[in-house]
Amino acid sequence: MAQLVAPNFDRLNKLSQSADADLVERPLVPQKRNRGRGAQTNVSGRFERQKRETFDDGWDIEEEDALQPFETHERLEKAVSVIARNDSPDIGFDRSINPYRGCEHGCSYCYARQTHAYLGLSAGLDFEREIFIKTNAADLLRKELSAPRYKVKPIAIGTNTDPYQPVERQHKIMRQILEVLLETKHPVTITTKSALIVRDLDILTEMAGHGLVSATIAVTSLDHKLSRLMEPRAATPARRLEAMRLLAAAGVPVSVNFAPAIPAINDHELERVLDAAKAQGATGAAMALLRLPGEVRDVFREWMFRHYPDRLRHVMSLVRDTRGGRDNDPRFGSRMRGEGPYAVMLRQRFDKAIERYGLSSRPQRLRTDLFRGPKQDDPQLTLF
């Protein structure tokens, strides 16, 4: 059975001389089978000894319409640890929690995609359909917070994969984590593209009353069609704005994150997004420029091939202008902000917009003095 179809060569002929022309030879998954997914291929992980490639052999082409969409596979796992540490100088936290590995939202630009290669899987479709669920995350968190040498600082959740992605509805790993954080009065910051966060308003409201939580809703576009292409299984822009309103009304500090800003795709919506977020009660705002580390570069370019082939050269040219002529600049300090005229102009627009709408770019200050280590069952018997 034919598994893949090649792009339209006639339509892409003008791109053949560009630095991105190598993608013309890479067949894409048929759209009927790829419905609701961001990645267009499933190239083998970079650490695999063998590379697998499916191609159209010309047989049974009429059966192509019978291909079923890719299903999501939930993989239950027992994690060894749950709090991840980092010493990066250009992000505002030194510890984070990821309840899940992989993300069903399917954002083609997601920088977390490349982490699936360490699991022997693809950064493409595998990242969206092979979801690892840390079933013991709450128990591990309780154990790690009870360590005598633990020093409390805000924990960031949602910085890698979304804690409120679709599988959270059934497994409720994020809610279990929040219950432990509330019990111990531990500060936490949450970033998500899902309206499911309002399910936990009871916990978040109580934490907000103690100054222990802040929430950030990522909104990349107010155009429903563009949003569905960019983030196939994330909440619609309207539902995210409604989640902001509910969070703000409940007293939970909420910010908006315009990330990523993609040149010639969604960058023109920067001011509109910040204005809409302010109207729903947001008090803070952040922005990050598109970055394409590792395999993310090809996943994003393939997405462009499918949906905006006429803009591919222009978009990638602007990206390289912000990255010193390369597709990605991993250097601390510049990787989030970019450099060059376009990046400077975008930053100036952001600064003027937050001043106009009365938004703050500074992170919410959370309390750390209320923390109390969780109670642990002590297996050691007492003498008396």
Percent of the chain at pLDDT exceeding 70 = 85
Q: Can you give the pTM of this predicted structure?
A: 0.87
Question: How far apart, in whole angstroms, are the C-alpha atoms of residue 85 and residue 35?
Answer: 36
Q: Looking at per-residue confidence, does 49 or 335 come out higher?
A: 335
Could you tell me which residue, 334 or 171, shows the higher pLDDT?
171
Q: Which domains, ranges and CATH numbers included, belong to the chain?
A: 13-357 (3.20.20.70)
- Would the CA dihedral through 161, 212, 347, 275 be positive or negative? positive
What pLDDT does residue 338 have?
87
Q: What ranges make up the beta strands (E) of the chain?
A: 73-77, 83-85, 95-97, 100-101, 130-134, 155-157, 188-192, 213-218, 254-261, 284-289
- Three-class DSSP category at 191: strand
Tokens coding 143: 């154990």
Contact 292, 328 (CB under 8 A): yes
Pure H helices in 237-367: 237-249, 270-279, 296-307, 312-321, 341-357
Q: What tokens does 348 get?
A: 């100036």
pLDDT digits 0-9 by tens, 278-321: 999 999 999 999 999 989 999 999 999 999 999 999 999 999 99
Report pLDDT for 38: 87
Over residues 152-156, the mean pLDDT reads 97
Please, what sign has the CA dihedral across residues 320, 324, 326, 330?
Answer: negative
pLDDT at 336: 76
List, for residues 248-276, the tens digit of each pLDDT value: 999 999 999 999 999 999 999 999 999 99
pLDDT at 35: 82
For residues 364 and 284, the answer to whether their CB atoms sit within 8 Å is yes
Residue pair 264/314 in contact (Cβ under 8 Å)? The answer is yes
Q: What is the pLDDT of residues 340-380, one digit of tens each?
A: 999 999 999 999 999 999 999 998 999 999 999 887 665 55
Strand segments, DSSP code E, in 168-305 are 188-192, 213-218, 254-261, 284-289
